[in-house]
Amino acid sequence: QVQLVESGGGVVQPGRSLRLSCAASGFTFSRFGMHWVRQAPGKGLEWVAVIWYDGSDNHYADSVKGRFTISRDDSKNTLYLQMNSLRVEDTAVYYCARDYGPIDYWGQGTQVTVSS
């Protein structure tokens, strides 16, 4: 079955960096676009970034553009999110999710807390 497992979250000071990973299994990872979506405390879901199935294109929410980078390693079936210049408002649970037209499968998320 499809599984997406995020890791790499933690507590970090404002201005620092963090890299999230998402290990995929149960499907042919290289055939699917992938997203990162986050949920701040007490808030709804916010889309963060997408990478095409072949890595040829990517897009970002304005709130993270220029600070976050999405990438993938198909040899490891892993999706990444490099987060630089973190801000307090980036505090959230970060989910990776598979694109099947609609987003169909999600991981359980990893918590990122940005605090001094």
Partner 1 sequence: EVVLTQSPATLSLSPGERATLSCRASQSVSNYLAWYQHKPGQAPRLLIYDASNRATGIPDRFSGNGSGTDFTLTISSLEPEDFAVYYCHQRFNWPPLTFGGGTKVEIK
Binding site for partner 1 (CB under 8 A): 4, 35, 44-47, 50, 59-62, 95, 97, 101-109
Do strands 3-7 and 18-25 pair parallel, antiparallel, or not at all (unpaired)?
antiparallel
CB contact set of 71 (below 8 Å; sequence gap of 6+): 51, 55, 79, 80, 82
Cα–Cα distance measured from residue 46 to residue 56, given in angstroms and rounded to the nearest whole number:
23
Cα–Cα distance measured from residue 96 to residue 80, given in angstroms and rounded to the nearest whole number:
9
Give the nearest distance from C-beta 89 to partner 1 in angstroms.
16
Question: Which residue, 41 or 75, is less far from partner 1 as judged by CB?
Answer: 41
Q: How far, in whole angstroms, is CA 2 from its chain's centroid?
A: 17
Tokens of 87: 């801000």
Give the nearest distance from C-beta 62 to partner 1 in angstroms.
7
Cα–Cα distance measured from residue 8 to residue 31, given in angstroms and rounded to the nearest whole number:
24
